[in-house]
Structure 1
């Protein structure tokens, strides 16, 4: 498609474009050349065609007050967010996996990673070297945390300010393309986390020349983005075209939209609806999947067409399944876990069978009702996990479960979520029991750094450890470095043993469960709980019945009578004499 924002590269010139409706005069500043006054349209577009410009040209836009700003649709920022933009011809990359059309959703096994800590070097290129190991264990898709250019040397990615530019600390745009290309060559899809609910606090110049924000909506980060007010169409196009760019120019296979509950829009067609529609139109027959994070658990975004196809969003990260499995494995009931602690076995069974635990019920921690009915959705509308960046990073020490919990407990909850009909997602290093923390980190100027330190303490004050004197400094280089994976631990006896465990589960999933997920509709799950025992079953393709009997506790529990004679697909622990041993998981298929 023809994009509205960013430079247009031709063989002998570049057309520079800049939407700045708040100003009548904009100057194009190209390094090493004379400044040029741009031409303004009535709609606030400033354009200029420059012969002789091309890939590698560095440029800025000068506002009437003399401030020089980067292109909001810059494709590369070689000197970070305050420096000049660089012209990049994305069409010049020569793709090798030209026949790649993506993977059907039911085949997806996600693996979340942070580019900067995934390898010692922290780049797109070095991530390529790890893909074979992921393929070996059964990962079919990597989920990359946000890469939109952010200020400083390191960041989780949710403080991006230039959404079209992969952060320069990870490499050039061509390096990201090479990573995507290499993943596709191995049959691995690539998902990207994108942030359309706010911009970071440093380096966002857009409000200085365009109506980016509106006072009509409030978010946790301040005024909402102007998706429905005066002059909002270009703002909507800016983010929707960004999503389309990742899909078409970088051949990304799916997007995870961060915190969509904070995207406010009173337009006739909500931004989320328009984005999904236009992205799917741009896919042109490829398997492209859209995923949401949504604290409101709004199941309407996940609805299916009568034929089972997906009109809007393919799935949602299911925090509910994380919370109940985390409590089972750790016994922790502080903070938001408290709402899931009472009748936890029943809540766990419900999350597995129906997706959401809370489907309109009041949640004391939130102080309000949460969620809509979800049983009518297929299980593949939910992504399940026992760890992710948030659930580890929102701990005071950023510690993983394996640091403090017995291995048999972790293996038990892993055997539940990896074989569930929901779509599983591993967090980087989980497969070999990585013990590195994954704390929150960022790198701003000192004034903002101090605000971050104070804000983290206040925001998470209801969680243990955030009032400690020795709390990790989220802005320190040491904090960032502590999260870097030590890949040598993958080759230890303990690491190899856990990898073998994960590989066996994912192989079993691929061979026996994945073929039965295509076309599965809603209301397929049934559940009950007796004591600590979870009894959940799903009716899958061809009328096959997948059933789970699990005892995620350190005491024996009864084995459901209707499952005692079924064919065993997988057994972890013991199941005999009508009882499940501690931390035992039994899957049957009939």
Structure 2
């Protein structure tokens, strides 16, 4: 048994190589169109076959001890999660991106998007004409929310049940490849969100094949994926090979691994480290560069420390704590997990220390939490909003519905001057007014009712008032679509131009562009609710003065040294007033 065995169907030298893991099965067959092919049992619980009778486009199922089931490693589910699988040759696409070189993480400026709601048609094909818009803003990498096949046509993507298959309604494998190729030819990197902490409930046939889950650990989604119990070796291989598929066959530049704190693995070698080791081996073979980014809220630097420092080797992580501190400073509510954040002092701590909770007591968690980190700034991704922080509000309100126009500009500035990697959520650059709601399209009524009930219970912690739209309703999906007529109108157009200027300034000034956590100083006036962030490099010294209060504050900044003032009338503000910083504004200036 080769350690690099790939699950599912792989085409090589005119042959289809089939491998399915079903260790407790007594008889396994493959039904291809109207033919039945016997599979041969191999070691470690695999059933395999090599055949020239299977061609790309053929529909198939596995017969596992009399049960007809789709392939858990299917590359395509043209009829959805309950339908037959389809054989796909991932080597057939004609790539034109040989010239492409993936940038370093420090040169990423990320734009998170949801394929279904980013454009009117909600497909990969529909994204391609919008790439010039993203380039015009200054984006260098798009991050696509999960595309693994999920039930129906409306879903955030975290209910995927075929990790190897690309959502059929988005355009399938060929559509994703075409998008990645187009991005690379435009100079854009592509990050793909993947989910290795759980699988969705509808269309999840994994347990019919083998022990993909373990009762050792309980997660919010039920039994944990089996990364460290009996038979875990082949489950680990399934997900390692999945990560390699995206890098190797789809030319994806980086993976964002969802909520890795929910991965339960107490093996001597954590699954994340093993994924990293395999990715490094692939990069050595191909000469391409790939990054691994994690969503992670344990504030444990071991996850992002390099392997040679006994870490798991993840290249970067999302920092929700920066977001939380920023929103509380901006006047956002302090319900739920926001109770841990006191405003401007914690925002300054986020600039200085990356982790706000780095070994100090957390009132929300009722314990001392986190570790200190000296990891470089390029390992931390910050934002003022993202799909979670918007969509997990009961009404899905974006910052444009919660904060003033001036405060939105200040929050954008606070992100862009940070010594970390900045990320935007789709539409924020023009202050999109539509919400981003939670939506699903399940077919099981009991499951639909459970989703509705779970959402209501989740909002109870935030004492939300009002009634949320039904996640199952088409209306919830349609209301979440971006309005592409807005960027040319009124304040939306002003906001878009402001983002372009802000991002352009970050890129033009090495003191801001380099995510250096060392050459940095923060000065807080808690009473005035102002924060001065100073950053410098190679003789260039830049000040970023932020006024989160509702009052003008005295400043000693010469007009000729001002590089950007969000209060200027050209940005829809009240106008600059000599010797003061206007309420809810940011001034970026040079020291001379």
TM range, normalised to the smaller chain? over 0.9
Partners of 1:217 and 1:264 within 8 A in 2 = yes
2:338 aligned residue? 337
| Partner Cα distance (2:469, 2:195) in 1 | 25
Question: How far has the Cα of 1:299 moved from its partner?
Answer: 2.1
CA-to-aligned-CA distance 1:484-514 (integer Å, 9 cap, x gap):
1111112223322211111111111122138
Q: Is this contact kept in 2: 1:101–1:287, CA < 8 A?
A: yes
**d(CA) in 2 for partners of 1:136, 1:390:** 26
Question: Structure 2 CA distance, aligned partners of 1:161 and 1:389?
Answer: 20
Shift of 1:464: 3.3
Deviations 1:331-354 (A, max 9, x none): 3222222221x3x11111111222
Find the partner of 1:572 among 566, 572, 575: 566
Within-5 A mapping of 1:489-504: 489-504=486-501
Change in Cα spacing, 1:311 to 1:159, as seen in structure 2 (3 Å) is closer
User: 1:21 Cα deviation (Å)?
Assistant: 0.4
Name 1:182's counterpart in structure 2: 182
Match of 1:297 among 275, 283, 299: 299
Aligned to 2:23: 21
Does the 8 A contact of 1:61 with 1:70 survive in 2? yes
Q: Distance in 1 between matches of 2:350 and 2:160?
A: 33
1:507 is aligned to 504
- Give structure 2 stretches of 5+ with no counterpart: 568-574
CA–CA distance in 2 between the matches of 1:557 and 1:411? 18
Q: Which residue of 2 aligns with 1:555?
A: 551
Matches within 5 A, 1:262-273: 262-273=262-273
1:544 CA displacement: 4.4
Distance 1:558 1:587 in 2: 15
Q: CA RMSD in A?
A: 2.3
Question: Does the residue aligned with 1:478 lie in a helix, a strand or coil?
Answer: helix
Query: In structure 1, how many angstroms separate the alpha carbons of the residues matched to 2:308 and 2:283?
Result: 21
* CA offsets 1:224-269 (integer angstroms, 9 cap, x no match): 1111121111111111111111111101111111111111111111
Aligned pairs (5 A) from 1:21-100: 21-33=23-35, 35-64=36-65, 66-100=66-100
TM-score, normalisation: structure 2: 0.92
Matches within 5 A, 1:100-119: 100-119=100-119
Q: Could you tell which deviates more after superposition, 125-134 or 11-20?
A: 11-20
Q: Within 5 Å, which residues of 2 pair with 1:413-492?
A: 413-444=411-442, 445-465=444-464, 468=466, 470-492=467-489
CA contact (8 A) 2:39 2:48 kept: yes
* TM-superposed deviation, 1:330: 3.9
Secondary structure (helix, strand or coil) at the match of 1:7 reads: strand
Shift of 1:213: 1.0
> Take 1:535 and 1:63, find their aligned partners in 2: how far apart are those partners?
64
SS in 1 for 2:509: helix
Shift of 1:454: 0.5
Displacement of 1:178 in angstroms is 0.4
- Following the alignment from structure 1 to structure 2, what is the Cα–Cα distance between the partners of residues 306 and 86? 42
Alignment pair present for 1:261 and 2:269: no
Q: Give SS of 2:523's match.
A: strand
Contact 1:569 1:588 in 2 (8 A): yes
Taking structure 1 as the reference length, the TM-score comes to 0.92
SS at match of 2:43: coil
CA contact (8 A) 2:417 2:544 kept: no
In structure 1, C-alpha distance between the alignment counterparts of 2:511 and 2:116, rounded to whole Å: 32
- SS of equivalent residue, structure 2 residue 16: strand
Instruction: Give 1:183 shift.
Output: 0.6
Q: Give distance in 1, aligned partners of 2:320 and 2:513.
A: 25
Per-residue Cα deviation, 1:507-564 (whole angstroms, up to 9, x for no partner): 111221388527x4x5443323112111223454x364443221122123454x7x88
Matched position secondary structure for 1:43: helix
Shift of 1:317: 1.1
After TM superposition, the structure 1 = structure 2 runs for residues 191-202 of structure 1, keeping only pairs within 5 Å, are 191-202=191-202
- Aligned mates of 1:263, 1:514 — CA distance in 2: 37
Number of the residue aligned with 1:220: 220
* Counterparts of 2:30 and 2:144, CA distance in 1: 34
Which residue matches 1:162? 162
Query: What do the CA deviations read for 1:385-412 (whole angstroms, capped 9, x no partner)?
Result: 1111011111111011212421011001
Distance 1:389 1:575 in 2: 34
Rounded Cα–Cα distance in structure 2 between residues aligned with 1:330 and 1:193: 31
**Residue in structure 2 matched with residue 6 of structure 1 by the alignment:** 8
Larger CA deviation: 384-393 vs 218-227? 218-227
Which residue pairs with 1:390 in the alignment?
Answer: 388
Matches within 5 A, 1:111-130: 111-130=111-130
Between the aligned partners of 2:439 and 2:578, the Cα distance in structure 1 is 51
Instruction: Check conservation: 1:304, 1:377, Cα contact below 8 A.
Output: no
Aligned partner (choices 497, 502, 522) of residue 527 of structure 1: 522
Q: Any gaps of 5 or more consecutive residues in structure 1?
A: none
Whether the 8 Å CA contact 1:378–1:524 is kept in 2: the answer is no
Equivalent residues, number: 576
